[in-house]
Amino acid sequence: MSSDRFDLAIAIGGAAGQGIATPGNVLARIFIRRGLHLNAYNAYQSIIRGGHIFLTMRIGDQPVHNHGDKLDLLVCLNQDTMDRHLGLMGPGTRVIYNSDTITPGSPEDGVHLCPLPIGELTDNNRNKLVQNTVALGTILNLLDVDFQILEDILTMQFQRKGQDVVDENVGVARAGYDYAAAHFEPFSLTVPSGGKPLAVWNGNDAIAMGGAAAGVKFYCAYPMSPSTGVLHWMAKNARELGIMVRQVEDEIGVANMAIGAAHTGCRSMCATSGGGFALMTEAVGSAAMMEIPVVFIDVQRAGPSTGVPTKTEQGDLWQILGASQVDFERFIVAPTDALDAFNTMPELFNLVDHFQCPGIVISDLLISEGTFSVDPDAIDMQPHIDRGAVITESRTDVSDIPTGSQEANGHGLIGAPSNGYLRYENTESGISPRALPGVQGYAHVVATDEHDEDGVLVSDEFTNPHKRRKMVEKRARKFKGAAGHIDPPELSGAADAEVTLIGWGSTRGVISEAVEMLSEEGIAVNHLPVKWIVPLHAEAIADVFANAKRTVIVENNYSGQFHRYLRSETGLTADGHIRKYDGEPFMPHQIVEGVRELLAETTDIYVPYQEVIV
């Protein structure tokens, strides 16, 4: 980032149970209320107490799209944090720690150690979480921010615990503030203020809110990290928003329940992570066969199998592409950040309603559990809603009740004549208006077996290859024009770049920053972030490849899943790859170094070394 921008990164490290979330939240509120942008990544483990948590919060006066490369301020809540991370700190940085319990290591020259005698400052308060509040005061002073805002937020934060708790916290925060004023040298920077106050959310909130805005009336899930936040948001807001929220016995139940609700006419969705999604795949195919619009969300984490439940990866792409047997129509979309995820939800619901098929959203831990600032006015909670060809009005001119006589009905079978409604009418567009259960005059049966236009199975009595082919082609036809309904990916950056970086989903933010850094170095790079996986704008991407000098695909997995998929659809082969599969997300400098190495042609797959060990 260019140096005239405000760009500050604070890290807080400790063990699970040491209460890192609270100071993180308080700091976030302080910055967003000043109109600063924020991107926070929390590295943690799949245990409830102990281990190592490392929260990195980067703040800027311009939108911040990743957690960055460097740290300005480190808060050590335990010795382990000091031991692990002091080495990351360079000249001019500050390291805050409790000098009663933590022994500092030997820092690089120019690192300012800020020891806090917590016992002394808190009258030996036995509450272990109190050190966090002292540290908050200290941070504020180092940043030369007025104490009042901290007091306000602590009051808001603790008021439901009573005035005593508020007073205690404000008191120790003030002690930390004053102690810093007396003993430590503040940063020589000014934290900007006066910008339009922002809001803060994480990707799971954004997905849930996007669903709510799209009109989701049924949400169900089985808890699975890192997708559980969607369930929590939905559960909390269910009653206020009139959304039916259910926790189900397993993911198979989840997927099928969501389909049941969707069939009655609810906008319906569910979220999980890779292993849970594996269990949902059979149902995805069934929704496609029954032509029921429903949305599945897969929040990726590191794998295979149970893998590393609290770490990020972009490794589920092929699972999602291969979700359920045989060919069928469905949308697959990988939003590129939280706001994009929010906006994707109503768009996707309109699409699945229009095309009567399932839709799958691919998120990952980075988006879903990352904390981001967002302009509240950018959150459009009343998006355009289009339910497609749906029949909700009863008709009384045609009866659901058969006339009584039985007759041959084109299935090689004798049966009662129906109301004449063809749920799977072989229309020119391939889209057949769908009647909702309960509507008079349209009673019909939907089926996961192959069926004829009226829903009667072709697998009973007389299979018929011509009917079968007709129905396969009807479903395929409806999807033919789907790509026209979504935006093609857009190339940004230098027109005649030396390198074209292609990413998908959550890597957009970090690649953008790497592009900027490279151009500052004089290497012209442009960037194609891909969001829509199916349908894929193959021609638009092929154009970019055709005009690119050197294509490099950046992805957070071992085998280059997106590259292989892109090639399967287009035949395009990229010149180089930057990949990562150690559980941690990319940092901008890792991509910068990757581009340099690839330009030097020492390798065609660059895997960065992960410096921050958490």
Partner 1 sequence: MSVETLTRDEVQEKPAVPLKAKDYKGKVDPDWCPGCGDFGVLSSLQRACANLGLQPHEILTISGIGCSSNFPGFFNSYGMHTLHGRALAVATGAQMGNHELTVFVTGGDGDGYGIGGNHFTHTARRNVDLTYIVMDNQIYGLTTGQVSPTSSIDMRTKSTPFGSVEAPINPITAAIMNGATFVARAFSGDARHLTGLIEQAVQHRGFALIDVFSPCVTFNKDNDYPFFKQRVKKLEDEGHDPGDWKAACEKAMIWGDEIYTGLFFQKKDAPTLGDQEPVLDEGGAIARRELGITRDQSDRIIKRMM
521 within 8 A of 469, measured Cβ to Cβ:
no
Torsion angle (degrees, nearest 10) of CA 357, 358, 360, 361: 80
Binding partner of 265, given partner 1, its own copies, ligand TPP, none, CB within 5-8 angstroms per partner class: partner 1
Binding partner of 308, given ligand TPP, its own copies, partner 1, none, CB within 5-8 angstroms per partner class: its own copies
**Which span (220-228, 359-367, 449-457, 596-604) binds ligand TPP, by CB under 6 A?**
220-228
Nearest residue to 316 via CA among 278, 285, 286, 354:
278
Site for its own copies in 77-116 (CB under 8 A): 80
Nearer to its own copies by Cβ, of 138 and 324: the residue is: 324
Cβ-count burial 415-431 (b if 16+ within 10 Å, e if not): eeebbebbbbeeeeebb
**Cβ 242 to partner 1 shortest distance, Å:** 5
Residue that is written with structure tokens 């005009």 in the block: 547
Beta strand 216-221 with 267-272 is: parallel
**What are the DSSP E strand ranges found in 32-170?**
37-43, 50-60, 73-76, 94-98, 112-116
Among 182, 326, 401, 495, indicate the residue that binds its own copies (CB under 8 A).
326
Among 10, 55, 231, 517, indicate the residue that binds partner 1 (CB under 8 A).
231
593 within 8 A of 499, measured Cβ to Cβ:
no
**What are the DSSP E strand ranges found in 313-354?**
331-333
Residue 571 φ/ψ, nearest 5 degrees: 80, 0
Among 149, 165, 439, 612, indicate the residue that binds partner 1 (CB under 8 A).
439
117 within 8 A of 140, measured Cβ to Cβ:
no
Among 29, 217, 311, 537, indicate the residue that binds its own copies (CB under 8 A).
311
Nearer to partner 1 by Cβ, of 124 and 247: the residue is: 247
Q: Is 465 one of the binding residues for its own copies (CB under 8 A)?
A: yes
Residue 534 CA neighbour count, 13 Å, CB half = 24
**What are the DSSP E strand ranges found in 44-149?**
50-60, 73-76, 94-98, 112-116
What region does 426 belong to: left with phi over 0, alpha with psi -120 to 50, or beta?
beta
Nearest residue to 593 via CA among 576, 581, 608, 580:
608
Nearest residue to 325 via CA among 354, 296, 284:
284
Nearest residue to 331 via CA among 486, 108, 437:
486
Nearest residue to 542 via CA among 516, 504, 571:
571
Q: Is 545 one of the binding residues for ligand TPP (CB under 6 A)?
A: no
Nearer to its own copies by Cβ, of 159 and 463: the residue is: 463
Q: Is 237 one of the binding residues for partner 1 (CB under 8 A)?
A: yes
Q: Is 429 one of the binding residues for partner 1 (CB under 8 A)?
A: no
**Cβ 220 to ligand TPP shortest distance, Å:** 13
Q: Is 304 one of the binding residues for partner 1 (CB under 8 A)?
A: no
Among 176, 203, 265, 276, indicate the residue that binds ligand TPP (CB under 6 A).
276
Site for ligand TPP in 312-371 (CB under 6 A): none
Among 274, 535, 576, 594, indicate the residue that binds its own copies (CB under 8 A).
274
Q: Is 14 one of the binding residues for ligand TPP (CB under 6 A)?
A: no
Q: Is 459 one of the binding residues for ligand TPP (CB under 6 A)?
A: no
**Which span (96-104, 130-138, 222-230, 487-495) binds partner 1, by CB under 8 A?**
222-230
Q: Is 396 one of the binding residues for partner 1 (CB under 8 A)?
A: yes
- Six-digit token pair at 410? 């084109």
Q: Is 161 one of the binding residues for its own copies (CB under 8 A)?
A: no
Q: Is 289 one of the binding residues for ligand TPP (CB under 6 A)?
A: no
**Cβ 583 to ligand TPP shortest distance, Å:** 16
Q: Is 524 one of the binding residues for its own copies (CB under 8 A)?
A: no
Residues contacting residue 65 through CB under 8 Å, at least 6 positions apart: 39, 337, 508, 509, 510, 512, 513
Nearer to partner 1 by Cβ, of 436 and 605: the residue is: 436
Q: Is 288 one of the binding residues for partner 1 (CB under 8 A)?
A: no
Nearer to ligand TPP by Cβ, of 46 and 127: the residue is: 46
Q: Is 223 one of the binding residues for ligand TPP (CB under 6 A)?
A: yes
Site for its own copies in 352-391 (CB under 8 A): none
Q: Is 275 one of the binding residues for ligand TPP (CB under 6 A)?
A: yes
Residues contacting residue 27 through CB under 8 Å, at least 6 positions apart: 10, 57, 136, 139
**Cβ 425 to partner 1 shortest distance, Å:** 13
Tell me the chain's radius of gyration from C-alpha atoms.
28
**Cβ 319 to ligand TPP shortest distance, Å:** 13
Among 73, 86, 290, 361, indicate the residue that binds partner 1 (CB under 8 A).
290
**Which span (217-225, 496-504, 512-520, 550-558) binds ligand TPP, by CB under 6 A?**
217-225
d(CA 81, CA 102): 10
Strand partners, 57: 10, 40
**Which span (58-66, 178-186, 368-376, 551-559) binds its own copies, by CB under 8 A?**
551-559
Site for partner 1 in 371-390 (CB under 8 A): 374, 376, 379, 381-383, 385, 387-390
Q: Count of CB atoms within 10 A of residue 229's CB? A: 21
Beta strand 414-415 with 267-272 is: unpaired
Nearer to its own copies by Cβ, of 88 and 252: the residue is: 252
Nearer to its own copies by Cβ, of 182 and 546: the residue is: 546
The residue at minimum Cβ distance from ligand TPP is 224
**Cβ 421 to partner 1 shortest distance, Å:** 11
Strand partners, 371: 40, 202
Nearer to ligand TPP by Cβ, of 279 and 612: the residue is: 279
Binding site for ligand TPP (CB under 6 A): 222-224, 251, 275-276, 279, 306
